[in-house]
Structure 1
Protein backbone atom coordinates (compact mmCIF):
# COMPACT_ATOMS: atom_id res chain seq x y z
CA UNK A 1 0.00 0.00 0.00
CA UNK A 2 2.11 2.86 -1.34
CA UNK A 3 -0.45 5.43 -0.18
CA UNK A 4 0.10 4.21 3.39
CA UNK A 5 3.80 5.00 3.18
CA UNK A 6 3.01 8.41 1.72
CA UNK A 7 0.51 9.16 4.50
CA UNK A 8 3.09 8.21 7.14
CA UNK A 9 5.52 10.65 5.51
CA UNK A 10 2.91 13.39 5.25
CA UNK A 11 2.36 13.44 9.01
CA UNK A 12 5.98 14.63 9.39
CA UNK A 13 4.84 18.04 8.12
CA UNK A 14 1.90 18.34 10.53
CA UNK A 15 1.54 21.69 12.26
CA UNK A 16 0.10 20.69 15.62
CA UNK A 17 1.62 22.84 18.39
CA UNK A 18 -1.52 22.55 20.55
CA UNK A 19 -2.62 18.93 20.38
CA UNK A 20 0.77 17.40 19.47
CA UNK A 21 -1.35 14.88 17.49
CA UNK A 22 0.19 14.45 14.03
CA UNK A 23 -1.98 13.17 11.17
CA UNK A 24 -1.02 12.64 7.55
CA UNK A 25 -3.09 11.59 4.56
CA UNK A 26 -2.37 10.42 1.03
CA UNK A 27 -5.06 10.51 -1.64
CA UNK A 28 -4.95 8.44 -4.83
CA UNK A 29 -6.85 9.97 -7.76
CA UNK A 30 -8.32 7.86 -10.56
CA UNK A 31 -5.43 8.67 -12.90
CA UNK A 32 -2.79 7.53 -10.39
CA UNK A 33 -1.83 10.99 -9.12
CA UNK A 34 -1.11 11.05 -5.38
CA UNK A 35 -1.78 14.06 -3.18
CA UNK A 36 -0.57 14.33 0.41
CA UNK A 37 -1.55 16.55 3.28
CA UNK A 38 -1.31 16.95 7.03
CA UNK A 39 -3.27 18.52 9.83
CA UNK A 40 -2.79 22.26 10.32
CA UNK A 41 -3.87 23.64 13.70
CA UNK A 42 -4.75 27.21 14.58
CA UNK A 43 -4.77 29.14 17.86
CA UNK A 44 -8.49 29.60 17.20
CA UNK A 45 -9.01 25.84 17.46
CA UNK A 46 -12.07 25.49 15.25
CA UNK A 47 -10.17 27.00 12.30
CA UNK A 48 -7.70 24.11 12.15
CA UNK A 49 -7.73 21.70 9.21
CA UNK A 50 -7.65 17.94 9.34
CA UNK A 51 -5.18 16.09 7.11
CA UNK A 52 -7.98 14.45 5.13
CA UNK A 53 -9.65 17.75 4.22
CA UNK A 54 -6.30 19.38 3.45
CA UNK A 55 -5.40 16.56 1.07
CA UNK A 56 -8.75 16.48 -0.71
CA UNK A 57 -8.78 20.29 -1.04
CA UNK A 58 -5.32 20.16 -2.65
CA UNK A 59 -6.59 17.64 -5.21
CA UNK A 60 -9.83 19.52 -5.90
CA UNK A 61 -7.91 22.79 -6.32
CA UNK A 62 -5.99 21.09 -9.14
CA UNK A 63 -9.16 19.90 -10.90
CA UNK A 64 -9.56 16.38 -9.49
CA UNK A 65 -12.99 15.10 -8.48
CA UNK A 66 -12.72 11.29 -8.63
CA UNK A 67 -10.69 9.33 -6.10
CA UNK A 68 -9.76 5.70 -5.56
CA UNK A 69 -8.23 5.68 -2.09
CA UNK A 70 -7.24 7.78 0.88
CA UNK A 71 -4.82 6.50 3.51
CA UNK A 72 -4.69 8.10 6.94
CA UNK A 73 -1.77 7.86 9.38
CA UNK A 74 -1.07 9.04 12.91
CA UNK A 75 1.21 8.18 15.81
CA UNK A 76 -1.49 6.09 17.57
CA UNK A 77 -0.02 2.67 18.26
CA UNK A 78 -2.94 1.00 20.06
CA UNK A 79 -5.69 1.74 17.54
CA UNK A 80 -6.23 2.63 13.90
CA UNK A 81 -6.65 6.33 13.15
CA UNK A 82 -10.18 7.11 12.02
CA UNK A 83 -11.44 10.29 10.34
CA UNK A 84 -13.66 12.68 12.26
CA UNK A 85 -17.28 13.12 11.26
CA UNK A 86 -16.56 16.32 9.34
CA UNK A 87 -13.90 14.58 7.26
CA UNK A 88 -16.22 11.64 6.61
CA UNK A 89 -18.83 14.02 5.19
CA UNK A 90 -16.14 15.88 3.21
CA UNK A 91 -14.99 12.57 1.67
CA UNK A 92 -18.62 11.60 0.97
CA UNK A 93 -18.98 14.64 -1.29
CA UNK A 94 -16.87 12.73 -3.82
CA UNK A 95 -18.68 9.38 -3.58
CA UNK A 96 -19.25 6.62 -1.07
CA UNK A 97 -17.58 3.65 -2.74
CA UNK A 98 -13.92 4.63 -2.67
CA UNK A 99 -11.48 3.11 -0.19
CA UNK A 100 -10.25 4.50 3.11
CA UNK A 101 -7.21 2.92 4.77
CA UNK A 102 -7.00 3.46 8.53
CA UNK A 103 -3.43 2.75 9.64
CA UNK A 104 -0.99 2.43 12.52
CA UNK A 105 2.69 3.45 12.55
CA UNK A 106 3.76 -0.21 12.22
CA UNK A 107 2.17 -0.32 8.74
CA UNK A 108 -0.87 -2.38 9.69
CA UNK A 109 -4.17 -1.10 8.37
CA UNK A 110 -7.89 -1.66 8.00
CA UNK A 111 -9.62 -0.97 4.67
CA UNK A 112 -13.16 0.43 4.56
CA UNK A 113 -15.25 2.38 2.08
CA UNK A 114 -16.49 5.91 2.66
CA UNK A 115 -20.00 4.42 2.77
CA UNK A 116 -19.02 2.05 5.57
CA UNK A 117 -17.56 4.94 7.55
CA UNK A 118 -20.63 7.11 6.98
CA UNK A 119 -23.70 4.91 6.51
CA UNK A 120 -27.06 6.38 5.47
CA UNK A 121 -25.20 9.47 4.32
CA UNK A 122 -26.30 12.63 2.56
CA UNK A 123 -24.53 13.41 -0.72
CA UNK A 124 -24.76 15.64 -3.78
CA UNK A 125 -27.27 13.33 -5.47
CA UNK A 126 -29.71 13.92 -2.60
CA UNK A 127 -29.96 17.60 -3.57
CA UNK A 128 -31.34 16.54 -6.96
CA UNK A 129 -34.28 14.64 -5.49
CA UNK A 130 -37.74 16.16 -5.68
CA UNK A 131 -38.91 17.57 -2.36
CA UNK A 132 -42.29 18.71 -1.14
CA UNK A 133 -42.43 21.47 1.39
CA UNK A 134 -45.60 21.54 3.43
CA UNK A 135 -46.28 23.72 6.40
CA UNK A 136 -48.89 23.54 9.14
CA UNK A 137 -51.15 26.02 7.39
CA UNK A 138 -50.98 24.11 4.10
CA UNK A 139 -49.07 26.68 2.07
Structure 2
Protein backbone atom coordinates (compact mmCIF):
# COMPACT_ATOMS: atom_id res chain seq x y z
CA UNK A 1 0.00 0.00 0.00
CA UNK A 2 1.33 3.43 -0.86
CA UNK A 3 1.51 6.48 1.33
CA UNK A 4 -0.02 9.84 0.52
CA UNK A 5 2.20 12.86 -0.02
CA UNK A 6 1.10 14.18 3.37
CA UNK A 7 1.98 10.89 5.11
CA UNK A 8 5.40 10.82 3.44
CA UNK A 9 5.95 14.41 4.57
CA UNK A 10 5.04 13.47 8.15
CA UNK A 11 7.54 10.56 8.18
CA UNK A 12 10.28 12.70 6.69
CA UNK A 13 9.67 15.74 8.90
CA UNK A 14 9.61 13.51 11.99
CA UNK A 15 12.88 11.72 11.16
CA UNK A 16 14.81 14.83 10.17
CA UNK A 17 13.23 16.77 13.03
CA UNK A 18 14.38 14.14 15.52
CA UNK A 19 17.95 14.55 14.30
CA UNK A 20 17.59 18.32 14.55
CA UNK A 21 16.38 18.07 18.16
CA UNK A 22 19.42 16.01 19.16
CA UNK A 23 21.85 18.15 17.17
CA UNK A 24 20.39 21.35 18.59
CA UNK A 25 21.05 20.00 22.10
CA UNK A 26 24.82 20.23 21.41
CA UNK A 27 25.45 23.88 20.55
CA UNK A 28 27.98 24.96 17.99
CA UNK A 29 28.12 24.98 14.22
CA UNK A 30 30.84 22.33 13.84
CA UNK A 31 29.17 20.00 16.33
CA UNK A 32 25.89 20.30 14.41
CA UNK A 33 27.68 19.71 11.12
CA UNK A 34 29.42 16.54 12.40
CA UNK A 35 26.15 15.31 13.89
CA UNK A 36 24.20 15.95 10.70
CA UNK A 37 26.70 13.98 8.63
CA UNK A 38 26.62 11.10 11.11
CA UNK A 39 22.83 11.00 11.12
CA UNK A 40 22.48 11.27 7.34
CA UNK A 41 24.34 8.00 6.93
CA UNK A 42 21.89 6.22 9.22
CA UNK A 43 18.86 7.66 7.45
CA UNK A 44 20.33 6.77 4.06
CA UNK A 45 20.94 3.24 5.35
CA UNK A 46 17.23 2.55 5.74
CA UNK A 47 15.68 0.07 3.34
CA UNK A 48 12.44 -0.39 1.46
CA UNK A 49 9.64 2.13 1.72
CA UNK A 50 11.36 4.00 4.56
CA UNK A 51 14.47 4.57 2.44
CA UNK A 52 12.31 5.77 -0.45
CA UNK A 53 10.44 8.24 1.76
CA UNK A 54 13.54 9.58 3.53
CA UNK A 55 15.78 9.86 0.48
CA UNK A 56 13.50 11.26 -2.22
CA UNK A 57 11.83 14.60 -2.70
CA UNK A 58 12.66 17.90 -1.05
CA UNK A 59 14.03 18.24 2.44
CA UNK A 60 11.29 18.83 4.99
CA UNK A 61 10.62 22.26 6.42
CA UNK A 62 11.55 21.84 10.04
CA UNK A 63 9.95 24.01 12.68
CA UNK A 64 12.04 26.84 14.07
CA UNK A 65 11.82 28.34 17.50
CA UNK A 66 12.52 27.21 21.00
CA UNK A 67 13.27 23.59 21.79
CA UNK A 68 9.78 23.26 23.25
CA UNK A 69 8.23 24.60 20.02
CA UNK A 70 10.23 22.17 17.89
CA UNK A 71 9.40 19.26 20.21
CA UNK A 72 5.70 20.18 20.00
CA UNK A 73 5.82 19.47 16.26
CA UNK A 74 8.45 16.72 15.96
CA UNK A 75 7.53 14.39 18.82
CA UNK A 76 3.85 14.01 17.81
CA UNK A 77 5.00 13.60 14.18
CA UNK A 78 7.21 10.68 15.25
CA UNK A 79 4.29 8.98 16.99
CA UNK A 80 2.03 9.70 14.02
CA UNK A 81 4.65 8.29 11.63
CA UNK A 82 4.70 4.98 13.50
CA UNK A 83 0.88 4.93 13.51
CA UNK A 84 0.80 5.59 9.75
CA UNK A 85 3.20 2.72 9.12
CA UNK A 86 1.35 0.36 11.49
CA UNK A 87 -1.81 1.03 9.48
CA UNK A 88 -0.45 1.12 5.93
CA UNK A 89 2.89 -0.72 5.94
CA UNK A 90 3.28 -2.73 9.16
CA UNK A 91 6.39 -4.48 7.87
CA UNK A 92 8.13 -1.07 7.74
CA UNK A 93 7.58 -0.04 11.40
CA UNK A 94 10.77 -1.66 12.73
CA UNK A 95 12.75 -0.27 9.79
CA UNK A 96 11.54 3.29 10.49
CA UNK A 97 12.12 3.04 14.24
CA UNK A 98 15.62 1.64 13.68
CA UNK A 99 16.52 4.33 11.13
CA UNK A 100 15.36 7.16 13.42
CA UNK A 101 16.94 5.75 16.58
CA UNK A 102 20.24 4.95 14.84
CA UNK A 103 20.32 8.43 13.29
CA UNK A 104 19.74 10.25 16.58
CA UNK A 105 22.21 8.05 18.46
CA UNK A 106 24.88 8.61 15.83
CA UNK A 107 24.19 12.34 15.89
CA UNK A 108 24.47 12.44 19.68
CA UNK A 109 27.75 10.52 19.70
CA UNK A 110 29.33 12.38 16.76
CA UNK A 111 30.70 15.29 18.73
CA UNK A 112 32.25 15.01 22.21
CA UNK A 113 30.01 12.15 23.38
CA UNK A 114 26.49 12.51 24.72
CA UNK A 115 25.74 15.46 26.99
CA UNK A 116 22.76 15.71 29.36
CA UNK A 117 20.63 17.75 26.93
CA UNK A 118 21.30 15.26 24.13
CA UNK A 119 20.44 12.34 26.42
CA UNK A 120 17.15 14.06 27.25
CA UNK A 121 16.41 14.62 23.55
CA UNK A 122 17.31 10.99 22.77
CA UNK A 123 14.94 9.71 25.43
CA UNK A 124 12.09 11.88 24.14
CA UNK A 125 12.64 10.77 20.54
CA UNK A 126 12.81 7.09 21.50
CA UNK A 127 9.64 7.38 23.55
CA UNK A 128 7.82 9.16 20.72
CA UNK A 129 8.88 6.54 18.17
CA UNK A 130 7.97 3.71 20.56
CA UNK A 131 11.43 2.40 21.38
CA UNK A 132 12.49 1.87 24.97
CA UNK A 133 15.64 3.79 25.83
CA UNK A 134 18.76 1.71 26.49
CA UNK A 135 21.15 3.67 28.73
CA UNK A 136 24.09 1.50 27.66
CA UNK A 137 23.75 2.77 24.08
CA UNK A 138 23.16 6.46 24.68
CA UNK A 139 25.51 6.93 27.58
CA UNK A 140 22.70 8.22 29.78
* TM-score normalised according to structure 1 size: 0.32
More helix by share: 2
Q: Which has the higher strand share?
A: 1
Calculate the TM-score normalised by the size of structure 2.
0.31
| Higher relative contact order structure (alpha carbons within 8 Å, sequence separation ≥ 6) | 2
